[in-house]
Amino acid sequence: MSEMFKISLPDGSIREMPEGSTPADVAAAIGPGLAKAALAAKIDGELVDLTRPFTGDAALALVTSRDEAEALDLARHDFAHVLAEAVQALFPGTQITFGPSTDDGFYYDFAPPVIDGKARPFTDEDLPAIEAEMRRIIGADKPLRREVWSREQLISRWKQQGESFKAEWAAELPGDEPLTVYWSGDDWLDMCRGPHLPSTGKLDPAAFKLTRVSGAYWRGDQKNAMLSRIYGTGWLNKKQLAEHLTRLEEAAKRDHRKLGNEMDLFHLQHEAHGSVFWHPKGYVIYRALEDYMRRAISKADCKEVKTPQVMDARQWEQSGHWGKYRENMFVIPDEVPNTEDDGPIISDDAQWMALKPMNCPAHVLIFKQGIKSYRDLPLRIVENGCCHRNEPHGALHGLMRVRQFTQDDGHIFCREDQIVGEVQAFCEMADRVYKDFGFTYAIKLALRPDNRIGTDEQWDKAEAELRDAVVRAGLATEEYGWEELPGEGAFYAPKLEWHLTDAIGRTWQVGTIQSDRMLPERLDAHYIGEDGEKHRPVMLHRAIFGSYERFIGILIEHFAGKLPVWLAPVQAVVATIVSDADGYAADVAAKLKAAGVRVETDLRNEKINYKVREHSLKKVPHLLVVGKREAEEGTVAVRTLGAEHQKVMSLDEAIALLTNEALAPDLKA
């Protein structure tokens, strides 16, 4: 007689199931509707296949499409496997590597087949045929079956199939890790931890789309073979896919790289990978943000500083960055290298320096200049600091991910008893800033990760300090999306994060503040306390924009290029209908400029409709049209971007209107 296991369900009931039973059996015992809807299961909190047998008494929760996060991840994982099976069916000789789910879909990396001695990379033209084959596999409703193999068995299989990449990967997996494969039917398998849906038929064939093909290096190393990466987006149903494609279409219209080119704001090129060439109009936006932030930090009683770009490697060793962040740093020798035909030669005696990837250690060095008393705290310093990080070429993305960037990077050195008040003040400052730009946001507390330093008591204290500050600021509410994120803090401290929501619903993690007791210790920073003894300050790392480059990219996409008037590079253009109005147009522009408005004139011998269309594409907020009649009457016809009709008003009224709109929100009464 087989042993009976007690299976606890979420509603508190208990089912007794015989040994060898699976979650699928429990679903069937409850009813045919649930058996059909079940996609996977959680056994004692672990997500597993429906066909995984119970090994003893357990708590069971069945996963259906209502559990959207888990269901989406499962579906996207399965879409990736179906993609790999389809590609190998259509293109024999293709080697598979691996393909995970992503935030909105999936991808898979392939080593293309070799034809006539040459690899044939996949292209976007291959995608329709691959999609059709994927739908055939989904329609076949092939069962997805898990097996555990030995390392030798798995490596042998991959070598027999000519799968050199998979064989290499299998050979390097930890020796004590069970190696699992999943069969699709009886004719295709892949190495995978799982879990998976019960069969390919659980996927909606109308809920995915392959989007593009790109190059990718094996294991992300440019020294390795180049692979073809096929991307797709996958959802639970056709409606979700349609909504996502609409969002993508809208996002493409708002792409900051496209708009940056159309508006003549900036460009990037290979002579300076990951660094921005700001054009005059783009730099106007940059400077307007810089001026705004300088006013904000001045109101918060912060002092602006400037620190060196290049610092000795020994400083980075002492701070800990050399050991943990070295691969992301640009390192240079402190000597003039000898040059030969093979290139520069560095002697063994060269001292190493590095371009700073962040400002924190330099700010500690400023704090350490002179003796600090408890009366000097808090010390708040901010730097619009240029930093460099050696990001991989393939990871660079317009203004959103660059190698050279400028942070609104601040540090507050304070006593233990000042932490909550300082964090509360920063929360209130961040709230004002984001509202000035028209953003809503969610504020989240990232809590201790598993891999961390410090005691539980220290973490309890640090997390409570940040939590209390948000509560005091009145932001720990549903309105502000308050949420705590277990395990997502830095290894040395918890942090608060600000997640902005843009006009099409995307979120961007921008601002942060975190408490740091480690760096002052490593760099031997101290102050003299009221007791006359040395004490370590707490160092609060804070930023609001994050980086100017990325924040500008977010603003461009949020506003679809139609920036608020105070940020617009050109706030108004005075355009003539006839050449007889050229003199009047120049006078109008001069008066607007004297009033502080960024203005240009368009006196070209072109039709006014052509001028209107051109300046609309450049997202100029106001077009002031003048002709012979306006010149005689001292008026202007104001066409506002996005408005259906123009308004005729006196020049004085127009100047008052534009002067008010050109003011930054923090300067308005």
Asked whether the beta carbons of 409 and 357 are under 8 A apart, the reply is: no
Kindly state the tokens that stand for 499: 């997640």
**Does residue 541 have a known ligand-binding role?**
yes
Contacts of 531 by beta carbon, 8 Å cutoff, 6+ apart: none
**pLDDT at residue 1 above 60?**
no
Triad 529, 533, 534: Cα angle to 5° = 80
**pLDDT at residue 576 above 80?**
yes
**pLDDT at residue 221 above 90?**
no
State how far the Cα of 30 lies from the Cα of 37, in Å rounded to an integer. 12
Would you state the pLDDT for residue 343?
A: 67
At residue 166, the 3 state secondary structure works out as: helix
**pLDDT at residue 639 above 60?**
yes
DSSP one-letter code for 223: T
381-417 burial: b if 16+ Cβ within 10 Å, else e: bbbbbbbbbbbbeeeeebbbbbbbbbbbbbbbbbbee
At residue 583, the 3 state secondary structure works out as: helix
pLDDT, tens only, 315-363: 888 888 888 788 889 988 887 776 666 666 777 777 889 999 999 999 9
Nearest to 520 by CA among 413, 422, 418, 408: 413
For residue 246, report the phi and psi dihedrals to the nearest 5 degrees.
Answer: -65, -40
Would you state the pLDDT for residue 608?
A: 93
Indicate the residue type of 431.
D
Would you state the pLDDT for residue 655?
A: 96
**Does residue 192 have a known ligand-binding role?**
no
DSSP string for 373-432: BGGG-SEEEEEEEEEE----GGG-BTTTB-SEEEEEEEEEEE-GGGHHHHHHHHHHHHHH
Asked whether the beta carbons of 76 and 101 are under 8 A apart, the reply is: yes
- The domains located in the chain, with CATH, are 4-64 (3.10.20.30), 69-250 (3.30.980.10), 267-335+350-559 (3.30.930.10), 565-667 (3.40.50.800)
Would you state the pLDDT for residue 341?
A: 62
Split at pLDDT 50, 70, 90, the class of 440 is very high
Would you state the pLDDT for residue 263?
A: 94
**Does residue 411 have a known ligand-binding role?**
yes
State how far the Cα of 267 lies from the Cα of 424, in Å rounded to an integer. 39
Which residues are known to be catalytic? 360, 389, 407, 409, 411, 495, 541
What is the chain's mean pLDDT, rounded? 93
Sheet (strand 226-234) strand order: 95-96, 105-111, 226-234, 208-217
pLDDT, tens only, 264-298: 999 999 899 999 999 999 999 999 999 999 999 99
Would you state the pLDDT for residue 359?
A: 93
As a whole number, mean pLDDT of residues 233-261 equals: 94
Percentage of the chain exceeding pLDDT 90: 81
Would you state the pLDDT for residue 177?
A: 75
pLDDT, tens only, 378-428: 999 999 999 999 988 878 899 999 999 999 999 999 999 999 999 999 999
Count CB atoms within 10 A of the CB of residue 640. 16
Q: Can you give the pTM of this predicted structure?
A: 0.81
Split at pLDDT 50, 70, 90, the class of 220 is confident
State how far the Cα of 104 lies from the Cα of 76, in Å rounded to an integer. 8
**pLDDT at residue 41 above 70?**
yes
Would you state the pLDDT for residue 340?
A: 63
Indicate the residue type of 280.
P
State how far the Cα of 462 lies from the Cα of 470, in Å rounded to an integer. 13
**pLDDT at residue 100 above 70?**
yes
Kindly state the tokens that stand for 309: 């770009």
